[in-house]
Amino acid sequence: MTSSQLIDLRSDTVTKPSAGMREAMAKAQVGDDVYGEDPTINSLEERVAKLFGKEAALFCPSGSLANQLCIRMLVAAGEELITETNSHIVRAELGAGAVFSGITTRTWLAPRGLLSADDALNIARPDSGPYLVSTTAIAVENTHNFGGGTVQSIGEIKKLRQESEKLGIKLHLDGARIWNAHIASGVEFIEYGKYFDTVSVCLSKGLGAPVGSLMLSTKERVAKARQWRKRYGGGMRQAGILAAAGHYALDNNLPLLKVDHVRAKSIASAVAAVAPKVIDPATVDTNIVGLELNSLKISASELSSQLKEKGVLASALGPKYLRLVTHLDLTDGDVEEVNQILAQLLQRALVP
Ligand SMILES: *Cc1c(COP(=O)(O)O)cnc(C)c1O
């Protein structure tokens, strides 16, 4: 089976730029962005900053870099950033906060990654004196990737802001999929932006751009982050070609995320119809379907191999945790096929 025939549900990063997006990229006005002269990057930075009610934004080649620049602006070497145990920042950025910025972390564990302000506040230790590490920032991931694309409660975010502000602790939003959170919850971007000192967003996930993320904050922090981006080797030249894809994605692809959400729910329902212990469709908020295989003998990697034989790619992210992610490049037919294949394989796995 060639890769073009495979239905790829490993991530929403696997999308390829559409014809319309490629056309927008080809037509983009460009300049040298290290000199601040790329009009398409400048307009994208202004657009996204404004969308979240922030003073400024910085275009970055990856979401990890955007996250790392954000937390570097909030936390000094030898201070700590606290976050949920399965956050991307602590699990999937290869220790970058420690390697580049001397940032240490402690984490709290939350079911499905769901934020409870008290969980964070209970372990927060600001101004810890000369012998203990001081907490200077808290990171919140929305939607929560390894939590299964879960949407954070705006009430908990608000409470966390109120309480952390009293403690002098800053807040960072890892909003790689904040677009999905907005579509699912109806909460405006500006409302999400209001509670955080720094925000990172990705254009290369569900929005379907090939490359691109932004970090958002005050003018001062963004100016400083611009220097660090260059130091890290992330200064790009005529990258307006990439920013044009971002503009196109925001103009055209944002409303399409709701289709991804419906399809994820449909996959979850097809699974639950056969194996209800594996997933509760009610817990699927957005475009990520996390299958918990603890009740079955089969491991995530075994199920993933069986799916692959049938032409479906999924991610085994834990011994018993398999992730399927819906995205722009799927058709209704693909989803139907996935549903049938999953039902068949799980039925087989249920036989003792
Ligand atoms: C994908 C992702 C990022 C950034 O990933 P890159 O691959 O570096 O662009 C950050 N946070 C979360 C939650 C993500 O899912």
145 lines ligand 1 (CB under 6 A): yes
Q: Using CA atoms, how far apart are residues 299 and 302, in angstroms rounded to an integer?
A: 5
| CA atoms of 317 and 323, how far apart (whole Å) | 7
Atom of ligand 1 lying closest to residue 205 CA: 1
Mean local confidence (pLDDT), 313-337: 97
* Average of per-residue pLDDT across 1-27: 90
Q: Is residue 16 pLDDT above 70, yes or no?
A: yes
For the chain, the maximum distance between any two Cα atoms, rounded to a whole number of angstroms, is: 65
The pLDDT tens digits for 145-166 are: 999 999 999 999 999 999 999 9
| pLDDT tens readout for residues 259-317 | 999 999 999 999 999 999 999 999 999 999 999 999 999 999 999 999 999 999 999 99
Return the DSSP state at 251: I
100 pLDDT above the threshold of 90: yes
Q: Is the dihedral of CA 227, 229, 235, 236 positive or negative?
A: negative
Q: What is the mean pLDDT of residues 39-53?
A: 98
- Is the pLDDT at 5 greater than 90? The verdict is no
Nearest-CA residue for ligand 1 atom 5 is 63
Does the pLDDT value for residue 68 go beyond 90?
yes
From residue 191, how far is each of 53, 214, 219, 331 by CA, in Å? 8, 18, 19, 33
H or E segment and range at residue 82: strand 80-84
Q: Ligand 1 mean position to 130 CA, how many Å? A: 34
Is the model more confident about 3 or about 21? 21
Q: What residue's CA is closest to ligand 1, atom 4?
A: 63
Query: Quick check: 104 and 96 in contact, CB under 8 A?
Result: no
Query: Which tens digits make up the pLDDT trace of 188-246?
Result: 999 999 999 999 999 999 999 999 999 999 999 999 999 999 999 999 999 999 999 99
Q: What is the rounded radius of gyration, in angstroms, for the C-alpha atoms of the chain?
A: 21
Nearest to 172 by CA among 58, 83, 62: 83
Please tell me the predicted confidence (pLDDT) of residue 246. 98
* pLDDT tops 70 at residue 95: yes
Question: Residue 67: CB within 6 Å of ligand 1?
Answer: yes
- φ and ψ at residue 195, rounded to 5 degrees: -90, 0
pLDDT at 3 over 60: no
2, pLDDT greater than 50: no
Q: Chain-centre distance of CA 26, in angstroms?
A: 27
Calculate how far, in angstroms, residue 131's C-alpha sits from the geometric centre of ligand 1.
Answer: 34
**Best mutation site among 145, 201, 211, 327 for ligand 1 pocket (most ligand atoms within 8 Å of CB):** 145
The SS3 assignment for 21 reads helix
Percent of the chain with pLDDT over 90: 97
Instruction: Tokens for 43, please give them.
Output: 């307009």
Angle between helices 332-350 and 257-274 (to 10 degrees): 20
Tell me what pLDDT residue 4 has: 61
